[in-house]
Amino acid sequence: MKYLVTGGAGFIGANTVDRLLSDGHTVAVVDDLSRPGSEKNLAWLREKHSGFSFFRVDIRDAAELDRTFAEGRPVDAILHFAAQVAVTSSVSDPRFDFEVNALGSLNVLEAARRHSPEAFLLLTSTNKVYGALTSHAVEERDGRYRFSGLPGGVPESEPLDFYSPYGCSKGAADQYFLDYNRIYGLRTVVFRNSCIYGRRQFGIEDQGWLAWFVIAAVLGRPIKIYGDGKQVRDVLFVDDLIDAMLRAVERSEVTQGQAYNIGGGPENCLSIWGEFGPLLAQLRGRPVEVEFDDWRPGDQRVYISDISKAARDLGWSPKVGVGQGVELLFDWVTNNRSLFE
């Protein structure tokens, strides 16, 4: 198959492109290389693979993006990962956040509609489209927060409640992708991802918290916890996400027009410091010092994905447990310290 991957030099993008090329697919990578680490990921892909094409394009530039799609047409599948990914950045610069996430995604849809209308399109959205989930009671028990209900996690039927400019911009892209299936017949699917982590992730304080904590612990950098560290997230190793995305492509007749909550689910969740801190200390061989600060806007005390719809439609479930995945990430950071210096 022929794939076009926006944000293909980012964390999820680079891992996905590596898998696709390893499986013998043809790939066009679109990225503006603005995110820290993206140039290193592109260099890694070029060292490991030959034959893929690269287009340095900002998805906000509709004309240039259109030319890129025209040059590469037609493609079988488009994976849209390019995004502004930090809530804090969206609060400080909501216009940039909107232009990348909402307008940029519309540009991708329009370019696809003109040049590859038969392609399957997948958007990586976010659990932030559900907002702060204030309608669900949360209790503290055993040093972590948990929903009083929702034992299986948050389902796709949860009402959307965009909170923060980031939630609004990604939510708009999310809905545009679904509506282009209804209105124009494009074969689109939306993945509302929870916390994805893994190798090639250059996490920073504002985004990619699990990777950032590992990087900071390995390099001896300060770690700040916003809130009390008892907030709970489900986490998913990037290899498992890629498995789910490729199954969505393979089963397009079932998945088109659908949204899926994708994460580790109830079996792969932990409190971000009460439980993750000791795990990191064990891998490091000594305690990790942290500083605590106020909660950030829109920070959910609990988010766990109900992944039963993905299990049913994709025949998919996570294979990499939290302990194994974190150890794989810790070893990669430890063995590649020079990438972060």
pLDDT at 297 over 80: no
- In angstroms, the CA 129 to CA 160 distance is 6
Quote the pTM value: 0.96
Closest C-alpha among 137, 161, 122, 152 to residue 260: 122
Residue 166 catalytic?
A: yes
For 151-195, how does the pLDDT look when each residue is reduced to its tens digit (9 = 90+)?
999 999 999 999 899 999 999 999 999 999 999 999 999 999 999
Closest C-alpha among 143, 168, 164, 71 to residue 111: 71
Query: For 277-302, what is the mean pLDDT?
Result: 90
For 77-133, how does the pLDDT look when each residue is reduced to its tens digit (9 = 90+)?
999 999 999 888 999 999 999 999 999 999 999 999 999 999 999 999 999 999 989
- Helix, coil or strand: residue 108: helix
Q: Which residues pair with 225 in a beta bridge?
A: 292
Torsion of CA 96, 99, 104, 109, to 10 degrees: 160
- In angstroms, the CA 80 to CA 12 distance is 10
pLDDT at 341: 82
pLDDT at 27: 97
Do residues 121 and 188 touch, judged by C-beta distance below 8 A?
A: yes
Q: Which residues pair with 56 in a beta bridge?
A: 31
Query: For 302-329, what is the mean pLDDT?
Result: 97
pLDDT at 205: 82
Between 106 and 74, residue with greater pLDDT: 106
- In angstroms, the CA 297 to CA 165 distance is 10
pLDDT at 254 over 80: yes
- In angstroms, the CA 58 to CA 45 distance is 20
- In angstroms, the CA 65 to CA 58 distance is 7
Between 206 and 276, residue with greater pLDDT: 276
pLDDT at 207: 85
- In angstroms, the CA 149 to CA 185 distance is 37
Torsion of CA 18, 59, 194, 252, to 10 degrees: -70
Packed helices 276-284 and 322-335: angle between N→C axes, nearest 10 degrees: 40
- What are the φ/ψ torsions at residue 12 (nearest 5 degrees)? -65, -40
Which band of pLDDT confidence, cut at 50, 70 and 90, is reported for residue 306?
very high
- In angstroms, the CA 78 to CA 80 distance is 6
Q: How far is CA 173 from CA 83, 147, 236, in A?
A: 10, 28, 22
Residue of 3, 166, 180, 197 with catalytic role: 166
First to last CA, the chain: 38
Query: For 39-65, what is the mean pLDDT?
Result: 97
Interior angle at CA 82, CA 76 and CA 84, nearest 5: 160
Domains of the chain and CATH, by start: 2-340 (3.40.50.720)
Closest C-alpha among 156, 155, 75, 157 to residue 121: 75
Which band of pLDDT confidence, cut at 50, 70 and 90, is reported for residue 288?
very high
Query: For 289-313, what is the mean pLDDT?
Result: 92
- In angstroms, the CA 299 to CA 231 distance is 9
- Alpha helices by DSSP H, 27-116: 38-48, 62-72, 87-92, 94-98, 104-115
